Chains A and B, each alone.
Chain A
Amino acid sequence: MEVKPKSACDTCAQFNADGLKKLGVNTSNFDYVVALAGNPNTGKSTVFNAMTGLRQHTGNWPGKTVTRAEGAFEYNGEKFKLVDLPGTYSLLSTSEDEEVARNFILFGKPSVTVIVVDASRLERNLNLVLQILEITNNAVLCLNLMDEAERNNLEIDTRTLARDLGIPVVPTSARYNRGIPELIQTVSELANGKIVCKPHRIKNIPKNIEQALEKLSAEIKEVYPDIPNSRWIALRLLEGDRNIIETLKTGEFV
């Protein structure tokens, strides 16, 4: 066994280290479902392993995780099931892995979505982040690979980023277990409703598309007043997504 590097948070009053139990593959009787999404090769599987204590094989090539992996941890008496989704650059196309990720976030209704991004390649990664924020209200940005960003001399103002995105931002280096306690704490607070997000919604959309979206989304809200992502559904309808048309009829995502 390797000794986990001590994090300052292990002793912080905010983080309750004794309250954490990594449950590995035992995912029965969970209280919350947490989805793990992100671009390929940003270390999702490493974050997954760090949170669950599992040793799922990780590797330095995009597309390592081909199927959904599940694990669990317990924090302050509540059980969280963690689902590691395949890495995608976007959620807008029809490829199989994007569909798995998109459907899970939309229909699996995770309590919290952890979006793992490569801190050194934030701009490119934000493409996916902004799409996910259209779908879900409860998300946290896991700014992973901070050690590499530091080596690349990048400075990231996490507060500004959190304010702009409207969700909590936690810097991590999952391979060294740095930031994982804070991430778990944040996930727990999001699940319990102690942190409420006000996610960024895509602004720079051409006027004609924006108007179409508003029109559609207003109609959708009339039928399903409680859904948080009417705009995303409108977007998918404009795209002609068969899946969405079907589920709109059955009302499965409510």
Chain B
Amino acid sequence: MNTNKIDHIISLSNDLRWQIGDEFHDNLAEGIYADAAEIVKDSVHKKDEKGAFRVDAKIDKIITSKVWGFPLMFLILAVVLWLTIVGANYPSSILSGLLLDTLHPALKGFASTIGMPWWLDGFLIDGVYLAVAWVIAVMLPPMAIFFPLFTLLEDFGYLPRVAFNLDHLFKLSGAHGKQALTMSMGFGCNAAGIVATRIIDSPRERLIAIITNNFSLCNGRWPTQILIATIFVGALVPASYSGIMSLVAVIGIAVLGMVFMFLVSWGLSKTVLKGEVSTFNLELPPYRPPRFWKTIYTSIIDRTLIVLWRAIVFAAPAGAVIWLISNIYIGDASVAAWLIDSLDGFGFLLGLNGVILVAYIVAIPANEIVIPTILMLTVLVTGISAGAGAGVMFELDSVTATGDILRAGGWTLLTAINLMLFSLLHNPCSTTIYTIYKETKSVKWTLVASILPVIMGFVVTFLVAQIWRLGS
């Protein structure tokens, strides 16, 4: 073997390193750039000075300016949300008409024709099928609009500008500026946002980004926010302003989420995750006209369908559980009723109620079934007739009818506001928890990321409830 030779080479390299001094790196880099400049001089010619560079620079001057950067960001967020909310209404109602109003009775009819026992029929069709149908009807349309819009913004080159605008705030909170990108992804889906944190090199800052991603209001939670805001907050103002008012309320919650993200990042970086903020180069890429149809296609295949499939996989067992707890009786009341009863007192302290807490427990797998579960459980508890049996999730045709049921269940404006807050601040869904574990490979940090938001949710809703009750 050449071991001696190699040892000699290594010791020689150590000696030489001393001789050439510590300017080695800079000198080398300068040398490479000098070569590059020579090569380019011979082969690249600029025909004139005008060109797209200037346009890019002009757009950047506005988009990343201190004055316009933030308002433009919120405006774009509002437009994307508005398009999602308004655009999703029609396909959503078509889908729910098809899956819930047509196919569900047909399946029930078929089950009774073949003489399926009531419990099997209830378990499979009212439990599993309905939960899945719900997730598809409620979730697919907004995702199919939100993800492509988001991807278009991404392809256009807007996201790095968002990171640029927010960099200062993230730096102040001791986090990495690229967290702005993962935060934006989280508005679509927290699990996707957490996978995206791989772009952050420093493990400390990556953990902060993972733990706080849940404060980005995700797709599964937007519909809840929008529905509750429309029923309770929109109703506070005259009808012609109620749309704007609800939108403002929803964006307010989303911004509040960002505030919590900064606060928690700051708290973590000052305590358990102490460390220097790492610097990084952020290249603002040129604006590129997105290839529209290709973007739509890939974002539907890559993001929408994958996220939807995952939601379905998790919603099916949740549907089964919901049906079971409302149909299995202990003594004279169903398991669901017992649970609700026992959680009512705690719920009251938080300005919520037992129904909401039970709904959040069974909806850990998929946030999008929270509202149907709440409706179903409210009907179960209040005993009002809404045409569906126990353990059957349903939606009402009109927002007004949904509001009537909720008010009959004792809901007030406080319940609504606290539900919106709790929807922002509670544990991530099971998919996200699983993703956090896969990315961090640590039970400890997975637990922190899962439990921290719930505790915050309890604290915030408790405080709001107490202050509210003092004032009224």
Contacts and interface: CB of A to CB of B under 8 A. Distances in A.
Interface of A: 2, 40-41, 55, 57-63, 66-67, 89-90, 92, 95-97, 120, 122-124, 126-127, 129-131, 148, 151-158, 160-161, 164-165, 175, 200, 202-206, 208-209, 212, 215-216, 219-220, 222-223, 234-235, 237-240, 245, 248-249
Nearest to A164: B39
B201 interface: yes
B24 A238 contact: yes
Interface string B40-83: 10111111101111000000000000000000000000000000
A205 B27 contact: yes
A222 B8 CA distance: 12
B154 A220 contact: no
A55 B46 contact: no
Assign chain B's interface to a size class: 35 or more
10 contacts: A41-B283, A59-B151, A61-B154, A92-B25, A153-B50, A153-B51, A157-B42, A164-B43, A223-B5, A238-B24
A122 B35 CA distance: 12
Contact of A206 (B31, B42, B290): B31
B386 interface: no
A126 B39 contact: yes
A248 B154 contact: no
A62 B283 contact: yes
B24 to A, nearest CB: 6
Contacts of A212: 16, 19-20
A175 B293 CA distance: 13
Q: What is the interface of chain B mostly: helix, strand, loop, or mixed? A: helix
B240 interface: no
Given A161-B39, A161-B43, A61 B285 contact: yes
Contact of B36 (A55, A130, A238): A130
Contacts of B105: none
B301 A223 contact: no
B105 to A, nearest CB: 38
B286 interface: yes
B160 A62 contact: yes
A129 B32 CA distance: 10
A203 B157 contact: no
Contacts of B16: 212, 215-216, 238
Contacts of A204: 30-32, 34-35, 38
Contacts of A58: 155, 298
B89 interface: no
A155 B45 contact: yes
A141 B68 CA distance: 40
A59 B155 contact: yes
Contacts of B3: 249
A156 B157 CA distance: 25
A3 B278 CA distance: 45
